[in-house]
Amino acid sequence: MDRQNIYIGLGSNLNEPRLQITNAINEIKLLENCDFILNSSLYKSPPMGPQDQPDYFNSVLKMSSNLTAIKLLDKLQNIEQQHGRIQKERWGARSLDLDILLYGQQVINSDRLTIPHLGLYIRAFVLYPLYEIEPKLILPNGVALSEQVKALGKQDIEKII
């Protein structure tokens, strides 16, 4: 398989979220057959779903790899588990969430994985960090990322570092 540019969304709102994200980025850098390119600043936003949980911290990482999307998903889920991820409810609090947002220009719809990520086009906490590192990106739906960000509007998101 040819190397693909891949974008990973990182999120956390438990157990020192900034540290969780920093550590996850460092662990992703060590994955075999994966080359780290860069990551965005850290962004803070209110939680989706239940509001009785802490704010989320999010970042987006760009990497390249020749792994299949499913093999990469397995590796990312292993990192989540090492960080104590237990998903009790949809959109609930979590120590670490790693999502494959884009895998080249591939479109994947399987029981385990949907790419582009279902929330990609509507979530400021994904689009803003992605735009920071890849402002000229054309999304798989053919729309420029810059136009998608513009259409979304500001929402409640704060760039931290």
Is-catalytic flag, 99? yes
pLDDT tens for each residue of 10-56: 999 887 889 999 999 999 999 999 999 999 999 998 887 677 778 88
What separation in angstroms does the CA of 12 have from each of 57, 59, 83, 128? 5, 9, 10, 16
Instruction: List the domain boundaries for the chain.
Output: 4-159
Label residue 1 exposed, middle or buried (CB < 10 Å: 0-12, 13-18, 19+): exposed
Residues 6+ apart with CB under 8 A from 92: 49, 50, 53
Label residue 104 exposed, middle or buried (CB < 10 Å: 0-12, 13-18, 19+): middle
Catalytic residue among 52, 94, 112, 123: 94
Is-catalytic flag, 2? no
Is-catalytic flag, 55? no
Residue 95: predicted pLDDT: 74
State the fold for domain 4-159. Alpha-Beta Plaits (3.30.70)
Distance CA(27)–CA(24), nearest Å, equals 5
Residue ranges of the chain whose pLDDT lies below 50? none
Is-catalytic flag, 156? no
Catalytic residue among 90, 99, 112, 156: 99
Catalytic residue among 35, 55, 85, 156: 85
Tell me the pTM.
0.91
